[in-house]
């Protein structure tokens, strides 16, 4: 039994482990622990795993900058102060990626888990994800071992 996608996302938005909901995944704002201290989920599941979180972060920054630009110009029309608006959007383009960084990491992990659920061999404690399927998986392993 896998964790529903909605639960994965709700936990990730709060910077928690998408599987078990554990807090304390970040030692500092930008330093994430390599695996969940509670369930053992390894956050970098494959090489290049964090490229998705970088992409997510870039998309959010672009959205914030474009919305800020549109709202600022619309609010000050017909004579928008372009130097002020340009400065504000430049500052937001530098600050938002830093502020959104931990959220992009946990959200990307949740998105990845929704697209590619855990395998039994990934080392996550069975009670969190595969508790109801553990007996079936053990019997399948035994059957495979007998066939080989």
| Domain regions of the chain by residue span | 5-147
* Phi, psi (deg, nearest 5) at residue 2: -95, 160
CA distances from 86 to 71, 73, 80, 91, 146 (A): 12, 10, 10, 9, 68
CA distance 74 to 94: 23
Under the banding of pLDDT at 50, 70 and 90, the label for residue 76 is: very high
| Residue 32, helix vs strand vs coil | strand
Q: Indicate the pairing of strand 26-28 with strand 31-32.
A: antiparallel
Residue 133, pLDDT > 80, answer no
- For residue 29, the model assigns a pLDDT of 92
Lowest mean pLDDT among 29-33, 60-64, 88-92, 124-128: 124-128
Is there a contact between 146 and 54 (Cβ–Cβ < 8 Å)? no
Say whether pLDDT at 16 is over 80. yes
Is the pLDDT confidence value at 1 over 90? no
């Amino acid at each position: 039994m896998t964790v529903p996608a909605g639960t994965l996302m709700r936990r990730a938005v709060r910077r928690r482990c998408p599987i078990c909901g554990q807090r304390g995944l970040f030692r500092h704002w930008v330093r994430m622990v390599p695996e969940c201290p509670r369930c053992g989920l390894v956050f970098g599941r494959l090489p290049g795993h964090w490229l998705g979180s970088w992409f997510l972060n870039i998309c959010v920054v672009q959205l914030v900058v474009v919305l800020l630009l549109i709202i600022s110009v619309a609010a000050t029309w017909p004579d928008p102060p372009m130097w002020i608006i340009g400065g504000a959007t430049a500052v937001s383009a530098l600050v938002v990626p830093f502020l959104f960084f931990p959220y992009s990491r946990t959200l990307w992990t949740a998105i990845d888990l929704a697209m590619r659920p855990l395998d039994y061999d990934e080392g996550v404690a069975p009670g969190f994800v595969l508790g109801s399927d553990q007996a079936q998986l053990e019997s399948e392993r035994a059957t495979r071992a007998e066939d080989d």
